Amino acid sequence: MTVPVEITINGKACSGEVEERQLLVHFIRENAGLTGTKVGCDTSQCGTCTVQLDGVSAKSCTVLTVQASGSSVTTIEGISDGVDLHPLQEAFWNNHGLQCGFCTPGMIMAANELLSKNPSPTREEIRHGLEGNICRCTGYQNIVSAVEDAAKAMGGR
Amino acid sequence: MTTRIFGSGIRRREDPRLITGRASYTDDIKLPGTLHAAILRSPYAHANIKSVDATGAAGQPGVVAVYTGEDTDGVLNGLPCAWLIPGSDLKTPAHPAIAKDKVRYVGDAVAVVVAETRYQAEDALEHISVDYEPLDVVVSPKAAAQDGAPQLHEDVPNNIAFTWALAGGDTDAAFADAAVTVSDTITLPRLIANPMEPRSALAQWSAAMGELTLWNTTQNPHIARFVTCVVTSVPEHKIRVIAPEVGGGFGSKIPYYADEAITAFCSMKLGVPVKWTETRSENYLITTQGRDHIEEVEMAATSDGVITGLRTTVYAGMGGYLSTAAPGVPTILHGLMYSGPYNIPNISGTVYGVFNNGAPVDAYRGAGRPEATMLLERMVDLVAAAVGQDPAEVRRKNLIPKFENGHDVATGITYDSGDYESALDSCLSAAGYEALRAEQAQARADGRCVGVGVSSYVEICGLGPSQVAGAVGFQGGLWESAIIRFYPTGKANVMVGSSPHGQGEETTFAQIVAGELGVEVDDVEVIHGDTDNTPMGWGTYGSRTTAVSGAAIAVAARKIKEKSRALAAHLLEAAPEDIEYEDGRFYVRGSPDQHKTIQDIALMANVAWNMPEGMEPGLEASAFYDPPNFTYPFGAHIAVVEVDPETGRIDLQRYVAVDDCGVQINPMIVEGQVHGGVVQGVGPALWEGAVYDDDGQLVTGSMLDYALPRADLLPDIEVSSNTTPSPHHPLGVKGIGEAGTIASTPTVYNAVMDALRPLGVTRVDMPLTPEKVWRAINDARNGG
Ligand code: FES
Ligand code: FES
């Protein structure tokens, strides 16, 4: 019982035959082979699977692959080429915004959307904006600093 | 310049792969032909297994094999407990990887399905039918130890796995003579470690070579290899364990689990790679949890608040089986720390390790020490209230005075160095303590519930001298080793047996080499996590990686330096004692122009064209470092909270931490450890706690029900530090991984209790959820 899908991931067309019940996060990880997007829970609580779906941030564990067919997805691998870093990546690095790194891709993707909606957030607003993403290592403080820093670098203030 | 890299907060060298999504964690690794395993788990907390019928699963789409306890019985050995504390009548009942006759907690493995995809494997689980005969269940560790409680293991009367006792001084006399005694029962609920990466195992068996490769989410790959050998009977030298990127552990990735043994078993049976990755729901059921203490505590003091004695009885839940290090946690890592930073001449304690129908309990960040610090700091606050003095002042008068090289406490251990009063003073001044108390008085006058909590702590870290490990029954050593290898171009690799998984040692270890040998940090690459290309070591836990593994690196670097000095002397035609070293250069005393850099030496040693008589070629050194003592980091923390008496809601307004972890190699990383540690300790004070119902079902079975700290619930933490070097450590380092978690639970708890005191509330069990706080306030109002 498979259905054909085609999803543009990081600008590249990815097609496949998938089960109707397949979660988008599994398509990204297994079919497209992009493992930067993580699976940290099975109840849509942790945010490690956060990607951009047609420009809006989404938890890719809550979306079926078939629902995303025809859409375009950006993952952590798509926001920079891995060498010339996105300002958020740079800021996470500079501010020690990560320890084990497992939450980081989702955190950066969520922060990216936060900044697109609010280019100059206060620390308080950043904390609220990221409450859907869990980090168990950093205590969030340096993540908040990183997002603040990235906002400045991206011209917010 | 380069030498100053040691001690500076340079950004981490592991980050580029992590921030770009290019790092590979276990579940990211794909081997051609991999099959996927899913494990059927008991829905009962306690039941006999009457029969397992797996035939229905075998024919399901994609299913390749189904195995039950009948298949693993006699093939896989039981999971060993590796901390056999002496003198405690310890019982170590069998712990089979797949249960055959009986299950003892919800989540106990009963069968495994291997299929082409994970979806198929999980689907097929539904087609295995198991006939269970449910048995009575016991959850509370104290209840489990009573006569008549349901028995988990036949040969363990009253479920008591061990009874461990500690006595120093004459506690009975201290209590008989005491002007003031205080007491309380402190419940530390089970905590779920929640590293963001779930556990995972990928096993690849090569029948032709008789070799097993296991990619595993572990904090200690060399121990994992050791235990894999014990459980699978594959010879140790034919096993390769790789801990690739590991997404946090906090202790929960120390133990050896049934799941990796089962995954290896499947690969060995089928001759293809097999992968298993837990879901978060599984993680909540099966991955080891922390704490589960019921602590009955009394403290004796003079009327002036000088502590004279401490007495405890502790019931420590072990879960259904003894996990790898479980018995050591509530005993050696807990009871021995009962003096804390205080002079307490008379201390006695009894700890019962008790089987109960929940997930096995083992080390979780702080492991034993948060449980000890909690009871001490609670008691000190009760003494302060009883004698009517400020809690900071009562602490001050009981703190052990500054010492630089050794101080014995009544529990029989010797702290390395300490300056507890300075830490307290620094914290009081950073917090503006006097002003805080004045503001609090004003707030109270205005009818607001503001509380200030103070705690002082000391922890035992840098585990530890291997001789002591042996004496306390740890079935392994606790030394670390390192190899530093210079190549002809002057670049170097450092290979270590420890296994950092978020703590940043790829950076700090390179900083140690840079500091010792004057090379650029970028010229040093740290290799860890793979038993095939790293020297033996015991792993990353107990705030020991920088303390022990880092010391091994420093010692190895110093060997490199001595060899380099001798070779430089030879090449410069000078006597070795005339060679001076500075910043990566060896020069003839008095003529700095006549010099060889470490890079020159690396080249000349590797080509070996002109070596002194008897000197071996190459520039490589290895060191095995067995610490002479533990390290004892310490500090003082203060929290400020406001409680809304109408709703019971607690607002954590400020948190001030002053920690002294000895010499800091990278202050940015130290600060990050404090942030994360503090938040992990605030969690159980305010929100976190695993709840099992009377049937042993985990009520808090997902991130929806188990309240993890989130970004919007926390203030910025105000962090600063003092530096009291460890006298016995080659770099003066002590360790910082667990400090925050150890201090913050009692600090926040005490702050809330301080806020509630005027309302007549004297105790509330953790976590201090709004509902519990609200009820306590109302009970007090109603004269409860
Ligand atoms: S995996 Fe946790 S929210 Fe998607
Ligand atoms: S860095 Fe480990 S979970 Fe966030």
Q: What is the DSSP string of B523-538?
A: GEEEE-SBTTTS----
DSSP string, B700-711: S-STTTS----G
Burial call B769-784: b when 16+ CB within 10 Å, e when fewer: beeebbebbeeeeeee
Can you point out the beta strands (E) in B302-376? 307-319, 346-355
**A·B CB contacts under 8 A:** 173
B454, B519: one domain: no
pLDDT for the residue B2: 42
Separation in Å, CA B583 to CA A134, B488, B543, B572 = 43, 19, 30, 18
CB–CB contact B18 A98 (8 Å): yes
Residue B587: give the domain boundaries. Answer: 2-20+479-625
pLDDT for the residue B3: 45
Q: Please indicate whether residue A116, judged by its CB atom, sits closer than 6 Å to ligand 1.
A: no
B550, B646: one domain: no
B597, B732: one domain: no
Of the ligands numbered here, which is closest to the C-alpha atom of A49?
A: 1
**What topology is assigned to A2-78 in CATH?**
Ubiquitin-like (UB roll) (3.10.20)
Residue A155: other Cβ atoms inside 10 A:
9
B516 three-class SS = helix
Which of B196, B245, B672 lies at the smallest CB-CB distance from A48? B196
What ipTM describes this predicted complex? Answer: 0.98
CB–CB contact A36 B704 (8 Å): no
B555, B677: one domain: no
- Whole-angstrom distance, CA of residue B182 vs CA of residue B385: 10
CA B526 to chain centre: 22
Report the atom number in ligand 2 closest to the C-alpha of B195: 3
Structural tokens at position B105: 């907690």
CB–CB contact B23 A101 (8 Å): yes
Dihedral (CA of B693, B696, B697, B701) sign: positive
Per-residue pLDDT reduced to its tens digit, A28-50: 999 999 999 999 999 999 999 99
pLDDT for the residue B569: 98
- Whole-angstrom distance, CA of residue B188 vs CA of residue B140: 11
pLDDT for the residue B1: 40
Length of chain A (residues)? 157
- CB contacts of B680 in chain A (<8 Å) are 136, 139
Strand partners, B65: B114
The 3 state secondary structure assigned to B208-233 is CCCEEEEEECCCCHHHHHHHHHHHHC
pTM of the model: 0.97
Chosen domain end from B582, B605, B625:
B625
pLDDT for the residue A1: 80
Residue B705: other Cβ atoms inside 10 A:
14
Structural tokens at position B701: 């079975």
A87-153 maps to CATH 1.10.287.70: no
CATH number at residue B529: 3.30.365.10
Which of B30, B196, B250 lies at the smallest CB-CB distance from A134? B196
Length of chain B (residues)? 784
- CB contacts of A45 in chain B (<8 Å) are 702-704
Given a cut of 90, whether residue A157 has pLDDT beyond it is no
Q: What is the dihedral of CA B495, B499, B500, B506, to 10 degrees?
A: 10
B399, B512: one domain: no
B772, B641: one domain: yes
pLDDT for the residue A156: 66
B692 occurs within a structural domain: yes
DSSP string, B623-661: EEE--SS-B--EEEEEEEEEEETTTTEEEEEEEEEEEE-
**Could you tell me the mean pLDDT of each successive run of 10 residues in chain B, 784 residues long?**
76 98 98 98 98 97 98 98 97 98 98 98 98 98 98 97 98 98 98 98 98 98 98 98 98 98 98 98 98 98 98 98 98 98 98 98 97 98 98 98 97 98 98 98 97 98 94 96 98 97 96 97 98 96 94 98 98 96 96 96 98 97 97 98 97 98 98 98 98 98 97 97 97 96 98 97 96 97 80
B206, B60: one domain: yes
CB–CB contact B196 A40 (8 Å): yes
Q: What total number of domains does chain B contain?
A: 3
